[in-house]
Amino acid sequence: MDLGVEAEKRGKKLRILVSRLRFLGDIIITTPVIASLKKRYPEAELYYLADARYVDILEENPALDGIIRLEKGNRSFLRTVKQLRSLDITAAIDLYYNPTSANLLFLSRIPIRIGGRRKWRRHLYTSTCQVPVGVRSAVSHHLHFIEGLDCDVSERCPAVYLSAKEEEAGRQSIEELFSGRRGELKVIAFHAGGTWQSKKWPVRGFAELARTLCTKGSYGVVLLTGPGEEDENRRIVLESGTDVKIIPYSPLRDTAAMMNACDAVVANDGGILHLAIALGLPVTGIFGPTEPDIWFPYEGMGPFALATRNEECAPCHLHHCEDRKCLDMLKMETVLEKLVEVTEWTDLTC
């Protein structure tokens, strides 16, 4: 299907909507779809619809003409329907295809609606996509939704953009944390949090890694803080016995800017990990119960490495696990080795 021809048939300007309502990491993973659509249809106006809590991360994306924020509640739902109708969208690609997004696009009277084949929602789309069984990567999974639009669906790295002002603010924040010594240090950001208990490397692991780095003298560590992760970070500082800095919970783009001012990132599987990848930083991703070939398809795309034990019980996809040997037995030396691999800081070799 050629969307340019479809818009011309209707006598309308080509406007395309991409939607992935949730969550942070999942939205970031869809950014190659945005880039591919813009490359194929440079004349089009592109819009993105997502949950207001996460979609700000797409600000400054040069391919997007607008971001549509869906708040909680029926009033926001109806306002969004009205907004989408007023935009006169030609085609929508729904990469989440849950009841909310399927109904929203249907009620918005968008003439071309592409979504998944899940349950009754498939009847609300004009075209559906069945991703081939052999496609494992989440990045490729989303790209397959636009294969029928004559777009390039080759796998590529996600991308998030910051303004020059944001980048400078991030640099200043990190400089202040280290009292003007930032130029003397290589700074590594840790994200030890996560939504699932089963996906968190133990505090003692992060504390041991922080101690190893900080005692070298030329390294600094900052801890990124998500909602409710303050106590976890304080424990890392105490157990490391070093001058690890804590970045308080901050707006999403502020966090991105401060992370961007660091030299490398070590993070549990989650949204912050995907954000670090999308910023192009050297990243070590820590995985336990989830599938790296789906959620960490990045090795070979840049300075990105995976730290995992490949236990027989994984992937279990459990949100809570009493055993947790996949992460509890992951050694600090293994994570450090992967950090050296992506940064080439050979003085850290144990």
Quote the pLDDT of residue 268: 96
Quote the pLDDT of residue 35: 98
State which fold the 164-348 domain adopts. Answer: Rossmann fold (3.40.50)
Burial 19-29 (b: 16+ CB within 10 A, else e): bbbbbbbbbbb
Domain 3-149 and domain 164-348 have a common topology: yes
Quote the pLDDT of residue 326: 79
Residue among 119, 139, 144, 140 at smallest CA distance from 129: 144
Q: Where are the domains of the chain?
A: 3-149, 164-348
Q: Which CATH superfamily is domain 3-149 in?
A: Glycogen Phosphorylase B; (3.40.50.2000)
Quote the pLDDT of residue 11: 96
Quote the pLDDT of residue 314: 67
What's the average model confidence in pLDDT over 127-156? 95
Residue among 259, 193, 168 at smallest CA distance from 222: 259
- Report the predicted TM-score, pTM, of the whole model to 2 decimal places: 0.95
The string of pLDDT tens digits covering residues 289-320 is 889 999 999 999 999 999 998 766 667 666 67
Please answer whether residues 190 and 210 qualify as being in contact, where contact means their C-beta atoms are separated by less than 8 angstroms: yes
Residue type, 65: D
